[in-house]
Amino acid sequence: MLDRLELANAGETRPRPKRDRNATRQRLLEAARDLFGEHGYDGVTVRMIAAAADANVALVHRYFGSKAALFAEVLEGDFVIQRVIAGVGDPEPLHLRLARHFVRQAQRGPASPIPRMLDRSVGNEEVRRILAEQTERLIVDPLVAQLPGPDARVRAMLAVTIIMGGGPVRRTLGLDDLRGADPEELTERVAAMFETALAPFR
């Protein structure tokens, strides 16, 4: 009888395995990224994301708060341009860094689901609000901070127009022509565009 009680007590005090919060969170982000890319924002439910990540629906709300917040985090994770603007590990001038990034994005092909996410979601008002907020915070403001002289925001907005303009072109015409061009020559031309956009007004 004592042996049984000791075994029962030992079972009660044995520590339960801890949930790997970070791994679950990452699975949810990856599942959301794939599903938003395939179906767009309106075509995806929180339940679909949880099922694809093999997680409880409640965890989506616990870790992210809402489907919109999860979409925003997926999108922000792909904003490589933050590091490009900051010049992390790259001493080249800003206009050349931006040009190289632009050409890389144009020529890398449809490897990332993020462009599909935006293409299939941009009609949603909430998505447009998220994109506007992130563009302002992650692109426009950092550019303005790097531009000395007057009219910094206007010049930054000219550069953003070049950066963001690739999206509509990709959606309507595709980027096969740019992918077939010589990357160095393309970079030189795009760099001239960025240099002109960012230069102080006379």
> Exposure of 88 by Cβ count < 10 A (0-12 exposed, 13-18 middle, 19+ buried)?
exposed
The per-residue pLDDT for range 140-192, each reduced to its tens digit, is 999 999 999 999 999 999 999 998 887 777 777 877 888 888 999 999 999 99
Instruction: Tell me: pLDDT of 97 over 90.
Output: yes
Q: What is the pTM assigned to this prediction?
A: 0.78
What's the chain's length in residues? 202
Question: Which tens digits make up the pLDDT trace of 157-167?
Answer: 999 999 888 77
Q: Is 48 exposed, middle or buried, given 0-12, 13-18 or 19+ CB atoms closer than 10 A?
A: middle
Dump the DSSP string for 22-50. Answer: HHHHHHHHHHHHHHHHHH-STT--HHHHH
Do the Cβ atoms of 64 and 148 come closer than 8 Å? no
Using alpha carbons only, what angle is made at residue 171 by residues 110 and 116, rounded to the nearest 5 degrees? 45
Which residue, chain included where needed, has tokens 């395939």? 38
- For Cα atoms 72, 77, 81, give the angle at the middle one, nearest 5 degrees: 110
